[in-house]
Structure 1
Amino acid sequence: MIQYEKVNGNFDLTGKTAIVVGGAGGIGEATAQMYARKGARVAIVDCKDNCPEVAAKIAEEFGVQTIGVKCDVTSQESVDGMMKTVLEAFREINILAAMPGFVDLYRAEEISISTIEKHMSINAVGVFRVCQAVANQMIRQGKGGKMVCVTSQADFIAINKHVGYTMSKAAVVGMIKVCALEWAEYGINVNGVAPTVVNTYMGEKAWQGKVKTDMIEKIPAHRFAETDEIAAAVLFLSCNESNMITGEDLVVDGGFTIY
């Protein structure tokens, strides 16, 4: 059962431990900063080598405990090792923000099956691998928890040259719904945040030149999102203020999909 807790609007995470997968840059780093600002201990998990540096910077800025753990979400052994490291440092896990990401742009008739499989391995199976590991720990703890997966507007609309990315992100939305249904009895909320294009490395990779200006013209807000705007949505779904929300994919797209 997902318990009711008095809502005060503070979005306080003091005493909580959060894992941010994909936390060494972009939306993930912004999310880790949000969590730290609200008092959480934070594990920065990423395939990049700079996890310890990002963790140290956040610890210094916000005065919270952090660790950086390199992890390959396509490897069960790597995920198991990451979980062991986090639990040795913090003893428990209360929040997971899962946003490992890969995109490679091809038309549907041109993309290789191996590229499709890479999208699925990182963006879908990798996300589930981490969610499953964290869920089992949360169930053992018996205190419930929060999971937020960053999806995409591409999980429910058609975007040119995004077939691999769309397949993988749509799979995550299906996963979110089933996991939310099955894990609610343990007090675990599972939700997604579906951004429009965000000003990150991946966003710049996919949207340049005329396709960028054309896309911005279609967004009523007339701009792409910034990382902290997406992180704010993730924060909301990670706090007690959102206890009655589960199985949802919150769209943060500047109005792009209102048409």
Structure 2
Amino acid sequence: MSDILAGRVAIVTGAGTGIGRAIALLFARNAAKVVIATRSEAPGQESLDLLLAAGGEGKLLVTDVSSREAVADLVGDTVSTYGQLDIIVHNAATISPEPLVTISDEHLDHTLDVNLKSAFWFAAAGMKHLKRSDAGRLLLTSSIIGNRQSLPALAAYGTSKAAINGFIRQAAYEVAEDGVTVNGVEPGFILTERFSDALSAEQVADNVRYIASGRAGTPDDIAHAFLFLASPAARHITGQTLIVDGGQSLGRAIRS
């Protein structure tokens, strides 16, 4: 454990599994107090148990970021508990394939609420607290999908993530003079629990064929990118995204 984030309070959304859990645990190992925000209590509690067992400090708040009111309550509860808020990592997202020409309004609205509009809600509820910090950070999980690559039936998801990149640049510009930085990470194919459970070994191997480095990414690969952006080392970086994809977006790797 290091003290890179000592004295900082962070919210990490979607922290019940996968990338969000990895971010929460890594931040805690680096001395941040971490609020694990997740829609489902059981995996969130498991994340919190792992965090506490490793000597970290944090709490679980069950929330659904598809609601402006829930986001405001999450921020308010965090500040009530710890008296401050220094870092928001909005990682929660929904991805559900649906062909472009048959996307329902319900599907589109839910995707945009969770993946995009929630970023505005976190800014609205959290920015006044981030401005009080001497190292305020608003960090978001984007994707290479929608920005560097396209996949079938992911028009809603890809569009939401392309819009997140636009949000990052605009928000960074608007709050730069207040000392808050706004950045993101664009993961490629990351072998989370969700993909490990859903894909066969052959399907994983087929995905890896497209990655220049020859391996799938791990949640820790993404977590370390976020740790850098949250750290003092990134204090003069804003309005940017880090592509963490092992070279996937560089072009098709040729492997048998």
Aligned sequence identity (%): 27
Match of 1:60 among 53, 62, 65: 53
Matches within 5 A, 1:1-259: 12-50=4-42, 51-62=44-55, 64-139=56-131, 141=132, 143-156=134-147, 157-203=149-195, 212-259=204-251
Q: CA deviation at 1:65?
A: 2.1
CA distance in 2, matches of 1:107, 1:211: 21
1:137-192, Cα deviation, whole Å (9 max, x unpaired): 222x2534112101111031211221111011111111111010011111111001
Q: Secondary structure at the match of 1:218?
A: coil
Q: Secondary structure at the match of 1:29?
A: helix
CA distance in 2, matches of 1:201, 1:133: 31
Aligned amino acid, residue 61 of structure 1: A
- Paired residue for 1:7? none
Change in Cα spacing, 1:189 to 1:207, as seen in structure 2 (3 Å) is farther
Q: Count how many residue pairs are aligned between Structure 1 and Structure 2.
A: 248
Q: CA deviation at 1:257?
A: 1.5
- Paired residue for 2:254? none
Q: Secondary structure at the match of 2:209?
A: helix
The more displaced of 32-41 and 126-135 is 126-135
Native 8 Å contact 1:11 1:240 kept in 2 = no
CA distance in 1, matches of 2:166, 2:198: 24
Change in Cα spacing, 1:225 to 1:201, as seen in structure 2 (3 Å) is same
Aligned amino acid, residue 128 of structure 2: N
Q: Secondary structure at the match of 2:12?
A: strand
CA distance in 2, matches of 1:19, 1:53: 17
Native 8 Å contact 2:86 2:129 kept in 1 = no
Using structure 2 for the length normalisation, give the TM-score.
0.89
Aligned amino acid, residue 55 of structure 1: L
Q: CA deviation at 1:232?
A: 0.5
Native 8 Å contact 1:176 1:191 kept in 2 = yes
* CA RMSD, Structure 1 to Structure 2 (Å): 2.0
Q: CA deviation at 1:78?
A: 1.5
Aligned amino acid, residue 150 of structure 1: T
Q: Secondary structure at the match of 1:102?
A: coil
Q: Unmatched 5+ residue regions in structure 2? A: 252-256
- Paired residue for 1:4? none
Aligned amino acid, residue 47 of structure 2: V
Aligned amino acid, residue 71 of structure 1: T
Native 8 Å contact 1:18 1:95 kept in 2 = yes
Q: Secondary structure at the match of 1:153?
A: coil
Q: Unmatched 5+ residue regions in structure 1? A: 1-9
